[in-house]
Structure 1
C-alpha cells in the first residue's frame, strides 16, 4: 500500500479563506448575488478564529445557491480565481508539498470547498487529487441544488478520505493530514501522522494534549509563534525588550 498526504485548504494551505476570492470570481460571472447578508462578517471571523458552525451553515447553502447554473460556466469562473488563490498560499506550504512529493506520497487537497471551485487550482500546485464537496449535476450540465454525496466536513471529511484511501489502495494509518480546525479532529485522529497547522484555539489544546506536531507555514520551520495570538515569539520578545519599556 502507498502513503498519502491530505492537506486542508483554508487557513492551512492558504493564509486565510478562499471564499472571498472564489465568490468574487463567481460574482464577476454573474453567478451569485452582489451581496449576501452577513457574508463579509463571517469571513472576517473565519480568518481570525477559524471555522465556526455559522460559517459551515453558510457553506452548506452552496449547492442551493448554484441551482440551475451551468457547471461548465462555474468551472470557467473558478479558473479565473487561480492567480489570486495562488497569492494566498502560505510561504512555506510549497516546501511541505515538495517534501511529500519527494517521499513518493500521493498529494490530496481535502477541503469542504466545492470540488468544481477548487480542482484546477489544486492541479496547478501539483496535487494528485481533490476531495471536496460535490454538487449534483443533471443531464444538461446544470446544478440541481443538491449534493452529490456527502458534505465534506468534520466526520464527513473523514468518511470521504477513508473511501478515497480504499479506492486508491492507500493505508490511512500511514497517511499524513494537515489542518487548522478542531472540526477536522476525526481525520487527524485517524491518520498515522496528524499535524495541526496554524491551529484554532481548540485544536491548539488538542494537539498539545495528543503531542501532535504544530506547524505555522507562514514562518520558517523552527520559528515559534505564540498560540492563538499568531505572533512570532522572537518578535514578541523584541517588542518587550525595547529600552523605553524597561
Structure 2
C-alpha cells in the first residue's frame, strides 16, 4: 500500500528537488531527511529518490505485519531532530556540520539555528533564510 501511495504522489514532488539533491550530494557526505512523519511511510521512498539517511517518527509495530498506532519513543520534531542527528553521528563516529538546511516549518528552528545556510520552502519555492513569524500551520500544530 505504501509503494502504491508514493506512486500516485511522485509526480507532485517539486521540480527543483532532484536538481537540488544532485548539488547537495556533491557538496556533502550525506544528504539527510529528518521528518516528524512516520518513518515506515517515508524511509524506502526517500532512499529510492537518492537521499542517504532518513529520520522519522517510529511507531510500535514498524515493519511488522500488524501496525500499532502508537509512537515508539519520541516524536521526531523540534529539539528531538537535533538529538537524533547527534546520536546518529556519535554512533557512526561522524562530526556533524549542517551545510544546507531546508524546511517549511518553524518547528524546525533548532535545526535552522545550527545550519550554515538556511532555506525556507514556501508554496513550493526556495527562499533564502528563515521566516520571522510563524505560519498558520505552525501556530496550530507546534509550540
TM-score grouping bracket, smaller chain normalisation: 0.7 to 0.9
State whether residues 98 and 114 of structure 2, in contact with CA within 8 Å, keep that contact through their aligned partners in structure 1: no
Tell me: higher relative CO, structure 1 or 2? Use CA pairs within 8 A at least 6 residues apart: 1
Give the one of 37, 50, 58 matched to 1:113.
37
Number of positions where the alignment pairs a residue of Structure 1 with one of Structure 2:
126
Say yes or no: does 1:204 pair with 2:126: no
Determine the C-alpha separation between the residues in 1 that align with 2:85 and 2:28: 18
Q: 1:194 offset after TM fit, Å?
A: 2.7
Q: Which has the larger radius of gyration?
A: 1
Q: Structure 1 segments of 4 or more deviating over 6 A? A: none
Q: Runs of 5+ in structure 2 lacking a partner?
A: 124-129, 134-143
Rate the CA distance shift 1:128–1:159 in 2: closer, same or farther, 3 A.
same
TM-score between the two structures when normalised by the length of structure 1: 0.46
Evaluate the alpha carbon distance shift between residue 198 and residue 88 of structure 1 in structure 2; reply closer, same or farther with a 3 A threshold: same
Where does the alignment leave 5 or more consecutive residues of structure 1 unmatched?
1-76, 207-246
RMSD: 2.3
Structure with the higher fraction of residues in helix conformation: 1
Distance 2:104 2:95 in 1: 23
Closer, same or farther: CA 168–197 of 1 in aligned 2, 3 Å: farther
Whole-angstrom CA distance in 2 between matches of 1:188 and 1:123? 23
TM-score by length of 2: 0.74
